Structure 1
Amino acid sequence: MRWFLLATISIFWALLPVSMPDALSQEALTVRVISLDHDQGAMIVEPVSTGGYPERITVHYDPDQAPPRLSPQDIIRIQGLLSPDGSGQFTASHIGYGKNTADPTGVRSRIGKCRGQGYRGGKSQEKSWRK
């Protein structure tokens, strides 16, 4: 039994780098859009926090994956691979508007809905009987 367990763990450990996608090597950045070209699938952005990134980064993306209302001066989150040579080329796998809310997963807003209490567990922001 020990040999079987040892062999299974060894095979799993050997295949782990092959089966893992490169999602672990991707970077997520919050950036401001400077200019954008939907037809070419490229935009020039600057990172909101420098953190060792170049001042200007050229992001290449699939035009179908970009938000339709994307425009210059928007602050967005991009995820993908930054070229290691320092040229400022970034290949995006995801582009979206990130929200810094207290409920990023939506679980807190759904608490209480199963009891028929609705959003915020039946509490209203406008009407409060405790005033």
Structure 2
Amino acid sequence: MQTVEHETFAKPSEVREFPHGKAELLKVGDSVIGRLTLQPGWRWSNDVKPIAGTDSCLAPHFQYHVQGRLAIRMDDGREFVGGPGDITSLPQGHDAWVVGDEPVVVIDWYGATDWARAEEDAGHE
């Protein structure tokens, strides 16, 4: 049976900070939703790769882009930029970086659990 829950990013369940950014996580039922705030200069391969210990991000993501522009390059070479109002669905195997001088904010509905965690702890990134 579904229950009523109310959570807010004003009081996240967990916050993970890393160079040039942070992941705020909310636990809602059996799900974890993340709000990622990435500052200008952030790049996964520079700022999260040392934490994850993998060549590219191995966590799949389903994200809503709230603010800023985020470039994404898949391991197969496909590349695009997500901006406010966009939805991105990413399989594992990608890099990403902030484009421009505005911070990026995305809501990650899938994959947030393993953001900025070591591979042996997470099994994804």
**Scaled by the length of structure 2, what TM-score is found?**
0.25
Higher relative contact order (CA 8 A, sep 6+): 2
Return the structure number with greater strand share. 2
Return the structure number with greater helix share. 1
